[in-house]
Structure 1
Amino acid sequence: MPSISKKGIQMPESPIRKLVPYAENAKKRGVKVFHLNIGQPDIKTPQVALDAVKNNTIETLSYARSEGSEEYRTKLAKYYVNNNIPVTADNIIVTTGGSEALLFTIGSITDPGDEIIIPEPFYANYNGFSTASGVTVVPVISKIEDNFALPKIEDFEKLITNKTKAILICNPGNPTGYLYSEEEIEKLKKIVLKHDLYLIADEVYREFAYDGLKHTSVLSLEGLDQHAIVIDSVSKRYSMCGARIGCIVSKNETFVKTAIKFAQARLSPPTYALIASEAALDTPQSYFDDVIEEYVSRRNTLIAELKKIDGVKVANPKGAFYCVAELPVKDSDAFAQWLLEDFNLNNETVMVAPASGFYSTPGEGKNQIRMAYVLNENDLKRSVKILAEALKQYKN
């Protein structure tokens, strides 16, 4: 038979989605599954976005502009300016989700064999996007003992070679929930300027910063106009994961012109989703205030409950809606599958994301899981109770 490509073979499975068949089989057996594996918020999408689609009078569902409508990009630019990110509509390319934004970015700045340095654990699809582009991820390991803080700058510098094209961060972080301080962003600024690299920041969780802390965008810093690239999305901000609308934001004119060629090749982002996303920008601040209050409460509940389990170590997230927990097991992939195949507590079980898929360093994260606190507090408490009982049985 014809052969499969090397990069197809090397393409990693998603730690978030690869166990879905086991979860579906569990449900067919009548087992209730609490989904802590995926960042699908249960928060309602702003009604203004839903109404914009419901009440539109489009008669022909036509192509949008490749870079997104001028109306949406202009309105989006105002949103950024209000968040201390001084950009214009010409600095924005609308994409089909943040995923496409990352693919266009990597395609625009790297060639096969180039390298991107990423603090790990990191969003699992960074591995996939890099593999698809023939790019090597060079990890800098952050530790749960340090709450996944930015590794020392010396750790970055010793990894930089003539193949290094960029440093990529997620801020706040997925899967860790770590929020980089302005001081840490400044340190990254110095290193990318010194070595003439791009600084790519995945900022899709910008609104979700807790405990009085503030988010610092790489585009809010002076001197990075030619180096900073922001990846963004409506998915988590407005609980619109299914809209698949994201964007690239950069003041580097040459980079933007290059990325637009990738956008033209895929024609355009989805028209209905553009309409919903433009309307979502009218969402009042009270919506975010309520959502943040809810997530802080959920985080506090989840962390408090996890700390009651003997042998479990957990980092304290300062943003987003994920946490990484270290379990008293040798292989969290096997444990996560066992939870769905062989375990239930009163006909209930939990689905988690094994954390090894959020690392590129072999052997790292083998006893860790990522949990998304996207369920209500009662369900979170129940989920941790199930997890605690599962660990007791698994141990035996």
Structure 2
Amino acid sequence: MPKISVKGQQMPESPIRKLVPFAEKAYKLNKRVYHLNIGQPDIKSPKVAMDAVEQHSLEILAYTRSEGSEGYRIKIAEYYTKKNINVAADDIIVTTGGSEALLFAMGSIADEGDEVIIPEPFYANYNGFATASGVNIVPVNSKIENNFALPPISEFEKLITPKTKAILICNPGNPTGYLYSKEEIQKLAAIVKKHDLFLVADEVYREFAYDGAQHYSILEEDSMAENGILVDSVSKRYSMCGARIGCLVSKNKQVIQTALKFAQARLSPPTFAQIASEAALQTPQSYFDEVITEYKERRDILVNELSKIPGVTMGIPKGAFYCIVQLPVKDSDAFAQWLLEDFDIDGETIMVAPAAGFYSTPGMGKNQIRIAYVLNKESLIKAMNILKVALETYKD
């Protein structure tokens, strides 16, 4: 029998999606499942984006340019200018989701066996992107006890070797909801300049910052012109996950020229999705104001409800719509499966994402879960009550 590649065998499962078969069995038993496991917002996509696709006048659904349509990239650059990020259309490559932008970034800056330092816990698919690219992740641990703040720069310096090519952050963070301060971004900028590394920032949740805090981009730092690579997406900003449109942004011309070769190999990003995404840039600020208010209220409810559950610890999210929750269980994978297979309250249960898959260090996160607070407030309260009773019932 032909053999599967070693890379394929090493490719990690998604901790977010691997429990889907158990959820499907729960559906067949007519259980209602509250999905806390995946960052799929229930907020409506902007009408202007949906209308643009419905009202298109295309007669041929043709390829666009590999770097994305020029008109769209010009408008993306205008969007960034309003955010104090001064880039031009030629500094942008439109990608098939933020995921492809991350793959292009890794492919452009790292060779087989090279290393990227990432504060953990981190977005689980970074593990998959690194495996696909032949890149080794070197984790630096951030701790729930100090709300997953940036680890000391000295901890990064200990890990830098001749193989190190970049530091990668997610800001605001998935899965922690941590929002890096301007000072923390400047510390990272200084260390990558000192060691001649890249700083890659996944900023897809930039619009979602709470409690009066402001998002600060790595490309607001003038010193990052050659060292900075920004990854972005329309998925969460406009509640358009299915569009699969993102972008890679850098003022480093070699990075853009190299990433473009990867973009040419996959031909072009999807045409209809670019039409929707370009139109979405017309979304009024009132849309974001309402969404941010809604997510903050959901966060506050989540924090309040979790505080009532004995033995539970959590990081308080300052952005995005996720948090890491530490539970009084030994194995959150087993607990998450049990919730779907063996537990319900009046035919209702919850689905969570075990957090071990958001770490690179073996054994970390075994008693933690990630919660995405993308449900309406009433459903969140019900879901937290289910979690409370489940923890009182569960036996490791």
* Same fold at TM > 0.5: yes
- Partners of 2:221 and 2:171 lie apart in 1 by 15
Per the alignment, residue 280 of structure 1 pairs with: 280
Per the alignment, residue 47 of structure 1 pairs with: 47
Per the alignment, residue 389 of structure 1 pairs with: 389
Q: Deviations over 1:235-270 (max 9, x none)?
A: 000000000000000000011000000000000000
- Partners of 2:267 and 2:337 lie apart in 1 by 39
- Partners of 2:107 and 2:125 lie apart in 1 by 15
Shift of 1:127: 0.3
Per the alignment, residue 332 of structure 2 pairs with: 332
Shift of 1:222: 1.3
Q: Deviations over 1:140-179 (max 9, x none)?
A: 0000001000000000000000000000000000000000
Shift of 1:395: 3.3
- Partners of 1:46 and 1:134 lie apart in 2 by 38
- Partners of 2:324 and 2:110 lie apart in 1 by 31
What letter corresponds to residue 224 of structure 1 in structure 2? M
- Partners of 2:315 and 2:382 lie apart in 1 by 20
Q: Deviations over 1:48-105 (max 9, x none)?
A: 0000000111110000110000000000100000001000000000000000000011
Per the alignment, residue 154 of structure 1 pairs with: 154
Does residue 361 of structure 1 match 2:361?
yes
What letter corresponds to residue 90 of structure 2 in structure 1? D
RMSD: 0.6
- Partners of 2:190 and 2:47 lie apart in 1 by 43
**Secondary structure of the corresponding residue to residue 186 of structure 1:** helix
- Partners of 1:112 and 1:156 lie apart in 2 by 21
What letter corresponds to residue 283 of structure 1 in structure 2? T
TM value normalised by structure 1: 1.00
Shift of 1:32: 0.2
Where does the alignment leave 5 or more consecutive residues of structure 1 unmatched?
none
Post-superposition, which runs of at least 4 consecutive aligned residues in structure 1 deviate over 4 A?
Answer: none
Per the alignment, residue 203 of structure 2 pairs with: 203
Percent sequence identity over matched residues?
71
Per the alignment, residue 349 of structure 2 pairs with: 349
- Partners of 1:93 and 1:165 lie apart in 2 by 21
Does residue 303 of structure 1 match 2:303?
yes
What letter corresponds to residue 77 of structure 2 in structure 1? A
**Secondary structure of the corresponding residue to residue 296 of structure 2:** helix
- Partners of 1:32 and 1:140 lie apart in 2 by 38
- Partners of 1:146 and 1:325 lie apart in 2 by 13
- Partners of 1:89 and 1:251 lie apart in 2 by 10
What does 1:63-74 align with in structure 2 at a 5 Å threshold?
63-74=63-74
- Partners of 2:103 and 2:306 lie apart in 1 by 36
**Secondary structure of the corresponding residue to residue 200 of structure 2:** strand
Per the alignment, residue 128 of structure 1 pairs with: 128
Per the alignment, residue 178 of structure 2 pairs with: 178
Q: Deviations over 1:201-259 (max 9, x none)?
A: 00000000000000010000011100000000000000000000000000000110000
- Partners of 2:311 and 2:345 lie apart in 1 by 20
Per the alignment, residue 140 of structure 2 pairs with: 140
Per the alignment, residue 27 of structure 1 pairs with: 27
Per the alignment, residue 76 of structure 2 pairs with: 76
**Secondary structure of the corresponding residue to residue 84 of structure 1:** coil
Per the alignment, residue 6 of structure 1 pairs with: 6
Per the alignment, residue 229 of structure 2 pairs with: 229
What letter corresponds to residue 86 of structure 2 in structure 1? P
What letter corresponds to residue 141 of structure 1 in structure 2? N
Does residue 264 of structure 1 match 2:267?
no
TM value normalised by structure 2: 1.00
Per the alignment, residue 97 of structure 1 pairs with: 97
- Partners of 2:8 and 2:254 lie apart in 1 by 31
- Partners of 1:135 and 1:278 lie apart in 2 by 33
**Secondary structure of the corresponding residue to residue 223 of structure 1:** helix
- Partners of 2:250 and 2:133 lie apart in 1 by 21
What letter corresponds to residue 182 of structure 1 in structure 2? K
- Partners of 2:334 and 2:9 lie apart in 1 by 22
Per the alignment, residue 164 of structure 1 pairs with: 164
Does residue 240 of structure 1 match 2:240?
yes
**Secondary structure of the corresponding residue to residue 237 of structure 1:** coil
**Secondary structure of the corresponding residue to residue 138 of structure 1:** strand
- Partners of 1:30 and 1:18 lie apart in 2 by 20
What letter corresponds to residue 97 of structure 2 in structure 1? G
Where does the alignment leave 5 or more consecutive residues of structure 2 unmatched?
none
**Secondary structure of the corresponding residue to residue 282 of structure 1:** coil
- Partners of 1:315 and 1:198 lie apart in 2 by 28
- Partners of 1:190 and 1:72 lie apart in 2 by 33
**Secondary structure of the corresponding residue to residue 158 of structure 1:** helix
What letter corresponds to residue 90 of structure 1 in structure 2? D
Per the alignment, residue 187 of structure 1 pairs with: 187
- Partners of 2:307 and 2:176 lie apart in 1 by 16
